[in-house]
Amino acid sequence: KSHNLLKERRQCKHVSHTDAAAVTQKRPNGVSSRAKVLTIDTMNPTVKKVEYAVRGPIVQRAVELERELSEGIKKPFAEVIKANIGDAHAMGQQPITFFRQVLALCSYPELLNDSTFPEDAKSRARRILQSCGGNSMGSYSASQGIDSVRQDVARYIERRDGGVPCDPDNIYLTTGASDGIVTMLKLLVCGEGATRTGVMISIPQYPLYSAALAELGAVQINYYLNEEKCWSMDISELQRALDEARRHCNPRALCIINPGNPTGQVQSRQCIEDVIRFAAKERLFLMADEVYQDNVYADGCQFHSFKKVLFEMGPEYSNTVELVSFHSTSKCYMGECGFRGGYMEIINMDNEVKAQLTKLVSVRLCPPVPGQALMDLVVNPPQPGEPSYENFIKERTATLSALAEKAKLTEQVLNTVQGISCNPVQGAMYSFPRITISAKAYCKQVHTPDMFYCMKMLEETGICLVPGSGFGQKDGTYHFRMTILPPTDKLKILLNKVKEFHQKFTQQYT
Amino acid sequence: KSHNLLKERRQCKHVSHTDAAAVTQKRPNGVSSRAKVLTIDTMNPTVKKVEYAVRGPIVQRAVELERELSEGIKKPFAEVIKANIGDAHAMGQQPITFFRQVLALCSYPELLNDSTFPEDAKSRARRILQSCGGNSMGSYSASQGIDSVRQDVARYIERRDGGVPCDPDNIYLTTGASDGIVTMLKLLVCGEGATRTGVMISIPQYPLYSAALAELGAVQINYYLNEEKCWSMDISELQRALDEARRHCNPRALCIINPGNPTGQVQSRQCIEDVIRFAAKERLFLMADEVYQDNVYADGCQFHSFKKVLFEMGPEYSNTVELVSFHSTSKCYMGECGFRGGYMEIINMDNEVKAQLTKLVSVRLCPPVPGQALMDLVVNPPQPGEPSYENFIKERTATLSALAEKAKLTEQVLNTVQGISCNPVQGAMYSFPRITISAKAYCKQVHTPDMFYCMKMLEETGICLVPGSGFGQKDGTYHFRMTILPPTDKLKILLNKVKEFHQKFTQQYT
B465 within 8 A of B457, measured Cβ to Cβ: yes
Contact A365 B176 (CB under 8 A): yes
pLDDT at A510: 81
* Residues paired with residue A126 on neighbouring β-strands, in sequence order: none
- End-to-end distance of chain B based on CA atoms, in angstroms? 36
Contact A250 B132 (CB under 8 A): no
Residue A322, chain B, CB below 8 Å: the answer is: yes
Q: Rounded to whole angstroms, how far apart are CA atoms B7 and B25? A: 33
3-state SS, residue B53: helix
Nearest chain A CA: its distance from B21 CA (Å): 9
Give me the phi and psi of B444, to 5 degrees please: -60, -40
The contacts of residue B443 (CB under 8 Å, 6+ apart) are B452
Contact B320 A33 (CB under 8 A): yes
Output the pTM of the full model. Answer: 0.94
- Cα–Cα distance list, A370 to A40, A132, A338, B357, B478 (Å): 37, 11, 10, 27, 38
For residue B12, name the pLDDT band (cuts at 50, 70, 90). low
B147-160 vs B119-130: helix axis angle to the nearest 10? 120
Average pLDDT of the segment spanning B57-82: 94
pLDDT at A13: 52
pLDDT at B10: 47
Contact A55 B143 (CB under 8 A): yes
A121 within 8 A of B108, measured Cβ to Cβ: no
HSE-CB at B189 with a 13 A cutoff on CA atoms is: 23
Nearest chain B CA: its distance from A499 CA (Å): 26
For residue A198, name the pLDDT band (cuts at 50, 70, 90). very high
Radius of gyration of chain B (CA): 24
The contacts of residue B201 (CB under 8 Å, 6+ apart) are B209, B210, B213, B220, B221, B222, B223, B255
Nearest by CB: B350 against A36, A178, A253: A36
pLDDT in tens, B122-133: 999 999 999 999
Q: Is the predicted pLDDT of residue A52 greater than 70, yes or no?
A: yes
Q: Rounded to whole angstroms, how far apart are CA atoms B146 and A178? A: 20
Q: Rounded to whole angstroms, how far apart are CA atoms A179 and A452? A: 32
Nearest residue on chain B to A36, alpha-carbon basis: B350
Contact B339 A370 (CB under 8 A): yes
Residue A90, chain B, CB below 8 Å: the answer is: yes
3-state SS, residue B37: coil
A208-216 vs A176-188: helix axis angle to the nearest 10? 40
pLDDT in tens, A330-378: 999 999 999 999 999 999 999 999 999 999 999 999 999 999 999 999 9
Contact A139 B37 (CB under 8 A): no
Radius of gyration of chain A (CA): 24
Q: What percent of chain B stands above pLDDT 70?
A: 94
* Residues paired with residue A345 on neighbouring β-strands, in sequence order: A171, A325
Query: What is the separation of C-alpha A303 from the centre of its chain, rounded to a whole number of angstroms?
Result: 17
State the best of B117, B132, B365, B372 to mutate against chain A, taking most chain A CBs within 10 Å: B365
Residue B212, chain A, CB below 8 Å: the answer is: yes
Q: Rounded to whole angstroms, how far apart are CA atoms A217 and A47? A: 9
What angle is formed at CA B132 by the lines to CA B127 and CA B133, rounded to 5 degrees?
Answer: 145
Q: Rounded to whole angstroms, how far apart are CA atoms B349 and B183? A: 14
Q: Residue A56: name the closest of A327, A430, A450, A368 by CA.
A: A450
- Cα–Cα distance list, A365 to A79, A143, B178 (Å): 41, 5, 9
Residue A366, chain B, CB below 8 Å: the answer is: yes
- Cα–Cα distance list, A49 to A1, A212, A248, B339 (Å): 15, 10, 20, 31
Amino acid identity of residue B311, one-letter, is F
Residues of B in contact with A111 (CB under 8 A): 104, 111
pLDDT in tens, A21-31: 444 444 444 44
What HEC string does B214-279 produce? HHHCCEEEEEECEHHHCCECCHHHHHHHHHHHCCCCEEEEEEEECCCCCCCCCCCHHHHHHHHHHH
Nearest by CB: B43 against A44, A190, A195: A190
Amino acid identity of residue A436, one-letter, is T
DSSP designation for A246: T
- Return the C-alpha torsion angle B19, B21, B26, B30, nearest 10: 160
Residue B334, chain A, CB below 8 Å: the answer is: yes
Nearest chain A CA: its distance from B271 CA (Å): 22
Beta strand extents in A113-181 (DSSP E only): 171-175
Contact A176 B365 (CB under 8 A): yes
A-B CB pairs within 8 A amount to: 332
Residue A57, chain B, CB below 8 Å: the answer is: no
Average pLDDT of the segment spanning B58-64: 94
Give the burial class of B1: count Cβ atoms within 10 A of its Cβ; 0-12 exposed, 13-18 middle, 19 or more buried.
Answer: exposed
Residue A443, chain B, CB below 8 Å: the answer is: no
Contact A212 B187 (CB under 8 A): no
Q: Is the predicted pLDDT of residue A171 greater than 60, yes or no?
A: yes
A449-461 vs A488-508: helix axis angle to the nearest 10? 120
DSSP notation for B367-401: --HHHHHHHHHHHS---TTSTTHHHHHHHHHHHHH
DSSP notation for A483-506: ES-S-HHHHHHHHHHHHHHHHHHH
HSE-CB at B35 with a 13 A cutoff on CA atoms is: 18
> What mean pLDDT, rounded, does chain A reach?
93
- End-to-end distance of chain A based on CA atoms, in angstroms? 36
Q: Rounded to whole angstroms, how far apart are CA atoms A21 and A107? A: 53
Contact B338 A369 (CB under 8 A): yes
B420 within 8 A of B450, measured Cβ to Cβ: no
3-state SS, residue A118: coil
Residue A273, chain B, CB below 8 Å: the answer is: no
Contact A253 B39 (CB under 8 A): no
Q: Is the predicted pLDDT of residue A240 greater than 60, yes or no?
A: yes
Contact A138 B337 (CB under 8 A): yes
Residues of A in contact with B136 (CB under 8 A): 89-90, 95, 338
State the best of B6, B9, B40, B42 to mutate against chain A, taking most chain A CBs within 10 Å: B42
Beta strand extents in B93-231 (DSSP E only): 171-175, 197-203, 219-224
pLDDT at A8: 44
Q: Which helix (DSSP H) or strand (DSSP E) does residue B124 occupy?
A: helix B119-130
Q: Which of residues 371-410 of B touch A (CB under 8 A)?
A: 371
Q: Is the predicted pLDDT of residue A49 greater than 90, yes or no?
A: yes
Give me the phi and psi of A120, to 5 degrees please: -70, -35
State the best of A49, A50, A87, A107 to mutate against chain B, taking most chain B CBs within 10 Å: A107
pLDDT at B261: 97
Q: Rounded to whole angstroms, how far apart are CA atoms A223 and A241? A: 6
Q: Which of residues 109-148 of B touch A (CB under 8 A)?
A: 111, 114, 116, 132-134, 136-143
Q: Which of residues 456-475 of B touch A (CB under 8 A)?
A: none
Beta strand extents in A22-115 (DSSP E only): 25-26, 32-33, 81-82
Q: What is the ipTM of this complex?
A: 0.93
Are β-strands B463-464 and B81-82 bridged in parallel, bridged antiparallel, or unpaired? parallel
Q: Is the predicted pLDDT of residue B328 greater than 80, yes or no?
A: yes
Residue B320, chain A, CB below 8 Å: the answer is: yes
State the best of B6, B16, B36 to mutate against chain A, taking most chain A CBs within 10 Å: B36
3-state SS, residue B439: coil
Residues, chain A, total?
Answer: 510
Contact B179 A364 (CB under 8 A): yes
Contact A90 B136 (CB under 8 A): yes
Q: Is the predicted pLDDT of residue A63 greater than 90, yes or no?
A: yes
Q: Residue B200: name the closest of B233, B171, B230 by CA.
A: B233
What HEC string does B272-311 produce? HHHHHHHHHHHCCEEEEECCCCCCECCCCCCCCCHHHHHH
The residue ranking higher by pLDDT, A35 or A420, is: A420
What angle is formed at CA A296 by the lines to CA A295 and CA A297, rounded to 5 degrees?
Answer: 115
The contacts of residue A1 (CB under 8 Å, 6+ apart) are A219, A248
pLDDT at A443: 84
Q: Is the predicted pLDDT of residue B471 greater than 60, yes or no?
A: yes
Q: Rounded to whole angstroms, how far apart are CA atoms B170 and B350? A: 12
Are β-strands A219-224 and B341-347 bridged in parallel, bridged antiparallel, or unpaired? unpaired
The contacts of residue B222 (CB under 8 Å, 6+ apart) are B200, B201, B202, B203, B241, B472
Residue B26, chain A, CB below 8 Å: the answer is: no
Residues of A in contact with B252 (CB under 8 A): 37-38, 42
Nearest by CB: B360 against A50, A319, A336: A50
Contact B32 A140 (CB under 8 A): no
DSSP notation for A14-44: ---HHHHHHT-EE-TTS-EE---SS-TTTS-
pLDDT in tens, B182-226: 999 999 999 999 999 999 999 999 999 999 999 999 999 999 999
Average pLDDT of the segment spanning A139-155: 97
Contact A136 B95 (CB under 8 A): yes
B389-415 vs B97-107: helix axis angle to the nearest 10? 130
Q: Is the predicted pLDDT of residue A470 greater than 80, yes or no?
A: yes
Q: Which of residues 237-256 of A touch B (CB under 8 A)?
A: 246, 250, 252-253
Residue B200, chain A, CB below 8 Å: the answer is: no
Average pLDDT of the segment spanning A376-398: 98
Nearest by CB: B38 against A45, A140, A187: A187
